[in-house]
Amino acid sequence: MTPLKLNFQEKLIKMVSKVWLLSFIVLTISAHEESSEKLLGDTDGTWSLMGFSGWAGEILMNPLTGSSYFYWFFQAIEGNATSDTRPLIIWLQGGPGCSGNYGMLFENIAPFTVNNKSEPIPNPYTWASDFHVMTIDHPLGAGFSVAKASYDMKNTTAGSTQQLYNLLVKLNTKYPWMFNRPLFIFGESFGGHWIPAIAYTILMNNNNPVSSQIAHFNLQGIGVGDPWTDPITQSQKYSAFSVATGLLNQEELEIIQTYEAQVLNEINTAEWDDAENDWTSITDLIVNYAGGINVYNIRSYETNYNIHGIPAWLDSESTKNLLHVPQNLHWVDCSNSVYNAMTVDIMNTAIHYLPFVIDTIPVMIYNGQDDLIVNILSTEAMVANINWPGIPYFQYSPKVLWTVNGMVAGFAQTYENFSFVVVLKSGHMVPHDQPINARDLVYRFVNGEGWS
């Protein structure tokens, strides 16, 4: 895989054509500048801003190296996490290697966002209107999280998931009230790897008499948007989706199908770098054939989302003081180092985690109608490949209209613990493109209300 570059032109090309797994398109990709100073202990504590409050900071994961996870906990509006039992939603970003802070501030999850003057302003679409919300910069090396040694930065989903579980255990020990409530885990994109894996790990440890005595998490469900989970099936649907949406002619279709066949062969022979490169060529070509569409939303030719003053605000001295982040750390939106470390995992599958998870707790997959990079057909192909006995019944379950405020928001299918929802007029980043409908989707799922 070609490494991400640091000059502006190459970064822009990379965002349009390669970093499909990002949960959003950003204007800059920064290097994670780390000081030689080693973190000697946790830095986290309470924060308060504009009437909102919570906890944030670094949790030391390796005392020998100083590697640490950053988390950011938002209390529900009018909630008290130390005494109530409102559900907690953990949000994990994609990438691999992107900061969850963007999901909070750019995708309308946190109770405030940041304008183009780098000023925090209230967010009327926040999920914190009903739930406590926390994000974690996962894996180590993403966002404000730090991997001080190369061996602390894992290169597989399994390895990084164990680190994430260890963080949750540490937080549970430090703040017993934090997980004394129903827990839900949401995310998108490469979260299609992270979220099934951490859910599987939590549920397996809950069933283990030894580990469950140390920590038992009341995990009640997971939701993954536009998930990159099973490349062997998902990589084969770009030609069909692009023809169905009028993006390709016959000649172009045949070229894309040739690349799809190459990717399939390379995955089957574990040629991971070649598979990733050829799969990247597929999206490059479709974008070019269609006149430069946004790979994250085929209805748009604007390749740069307006991310306002979020980067400057997060990396400011005052914000670091607010969030208990050491001043020597520089916030990074999407880490080059993490992405490169995870190269071998990008075209590998995480689908094997799902059958046990679906058997145990509710699982929701949702997909933006207008996403190209993880399009509806690719997600449907992934779903059909889940080795869960209920999948054949799910595929023949009725599709219902999901409405919000009297307007059709999408279509939903449900069978037992499994739901699949198509979100209309949305691309890859559903909470950004459809904030009201995304909040309704989350509320219905967490509260078990159904779709019709």
CA distances from 342 to 90, 198, 249, 346, 446 (A): 22, 17, 35, 6, 31
What rounded mean pLDDT belongs to the chain? Answer: 91
Residues in a beta bridge with 134: 73, 90
Q: Is the pLDDT of residue 110 over 80?
A: yes
In angstroms, rounded to a whole number, what is the distance separating the alpha carbons of residues 223 and 9? 35
What element of type H or E holds 337? helix 336-341
Q: For the chain, which domains are there?
A: 45-231+307-446 (3.40.50.1820)
What element of type H or E holds 407? strand 407-415
Quickly count: other Cβ atoms within 10 Å of residue 124's Cβ.
11
In angstroms, rounded to a whole number, what is the distance separating the alpha carbons of residues 75 and 85? 12
In angstroms, rounded to a whole number, what is the distance separating the alpha carbons of residues 109 and 86? 16
Predicted confidence at residue 336, as pLDDT, reads: 87
Structure tokens at 356: 């046990």
Predicted confidence at residue 27, as pLDDT, reads: 34
Quick one: CA torsion of 48, 50, 52, 53, rounded to 10 degrees?
0
Residues in a beta bridge with 422: 367, 411
Predicted confidence at residue 17, as pLDDT, reads: 40
User: Among residues 44, 37, 26, 30, which one has the least CA distance to residue 143?
Assistant: 30
352 by Cβ neighbours in 10 Å (0-12 / 13-18 / 19+) ranks as middle
In angstroms, rounded to a whole number, what is the distance separating the alpha carbons of residues 262 and 196? 28
In angstroms, rounded to a whole number, what is the distance separating the alpha carbons of residues 149 and 66? 8
Mean pLDDT for the stretch of residues 413-438: 97
Predicted confidence at residue 133, as pLDDT, reads: 98
What element of type H or E holds 91? strand 88-92
Quickly count: other Cβ atoms within 10 Å of residue 451's Cβ.
20
Predicted confidence at residue 15, as pLDDT, reads: 40
CA distances from 186 to 67, 72, 127, 434 (A): 25, 15, 12, 16
Please give the order of strands across the beta sheet that includes 67-74: 45-49, 52-62, 67-74, 132-136, 88-92, 183-188, 219-225, 363-368, 418-423, 407-415, 399-404
The confidence band for 302, taking pLDDT boundaries of 50, 70 and 90, is confident
Q: Of the given ranges (26-30, 178-182, 361-365), which has the lowest mean pLDDT?
A: 26-30
* 207-225 residue pLDDT tens: 999 988 899 999 999 999 9
Predicted confidence at residue 16, as pLDDT, reads: 35
CA distances from 26 to 102, 106, 231 (A): 9, 10, 24
Q: Of the given ranges (23-27, 201-205, 376-380, 436-440), which has the lowest mean pLDDT?
A: 23-27
In angstroms, rounded to a whole number, what is the distance separating the alpha carbons of residues 321 and 302? 35
Report yes or no: 85 and 181 within 8 Å, Cβ to Cβ. Answer: yes
The confidence band for 36, taking pLDDT boundaries of 50, 70 and 90, is low
pTM (predicted TM-score): 0.91
Q: Is the pLDDT of residue 399 over 90?
A: yes
| % of the chain with per-residue pLDDT over 70 | 92
Mean pLDDT for the stretch of residues 126-154: 96
Q: What secondary structure letter does DSSP report for 24?
A: S
In angstroms, rounded to a whole number, what is the distance separating the alpha carbons of residues 438 and 300? 20
Mean pLDDT for the stretch of residues 157-161: 96
CA distances from 139 to 19, 23, 166, 191 (A): 17, 15, 12, 11
